[in-house]
Amino acid sequence: MSILVLVRHGQSEWNRDNLFTGWVDSPLTDKGRQEAKDAATEISDVDFGRLFTSTLSRAIETADIITEAIGQPHLPTARAWQINERYYGRLTGLNKAQTIEKHGAEQVKIWRRSFDIPPPGGEALADTAARSIPYFEADIKPHLVDGRNVLVVAHGNSLRSIVMHIEELSREEILEVELPTGHPKRYRFEHSKFEPL
């Protein structure tokens, strides 16, 4: 048996300001750093064998805070663009509330939450899944198979796509899944199956 823990990075400056962030390298806020410390408290009982983060600094800093706080600062680590946040295209940097005012709540909801309709010039969740799930299967899951506990610190949409995959959720079901910043999500991996803890 092994344990998989998924953590969405702590609050970033652009999260705080209600902006579409995507691939922009927005740093953590003080609240985000505290969320990372709180996440560490929740998972301090797990002895990890491997750490995966995206290439974006908000995920890397969150992971650094967590691993330092749990006394495991030297975990073997991989940083992968495949688990970067969804790319928001021409919505990047726009205020979400103002975008709703301009385009309407229904249109913005489609851009943000539909599985396969991307925002202008950006990625749909399906596109994010097309890079994050193969990476999960090829690079992350083998460590779980070998009995190592794994920590993945990434982003709302890349993690949602992984959750969709391992929980075998439908396209409709994943649209209702929200991963708050800094809240660990645990799974037991045993007999080739994932079970939420």
Active-site residue 74, yes or no? no
Catalytic residue among 9, 143, 155, 165: 9
- HEC per residue, 56-124: CHHHHHHHHHHHHHCCCCCCCEEECHHHCCCCCHHHCCCEHHHHHHHHCHHHHHHHHHCCCCCCCCCCC
Taking each helix axis from N to C end, the angle separating 105-113 and 96-103, rounded to the nearest 10 degrees, works out to 120
Compute the C-alpha angle 133/189/157, nearest 5°.
30
Active-site residue 85, yes or no? yes
Exposed/middle/buried for residue 9 (C-beta within 10 Å: 0-12, 13-18, 19+):
buried
Angstrom distance (rounded) from CA 139 to CA 135: 6
What DSSP state is assigned to residue 12?
A: B
Catalytic residue among 61, 85, 123, 143: 85
Catalytic machinery residues: 9, 85
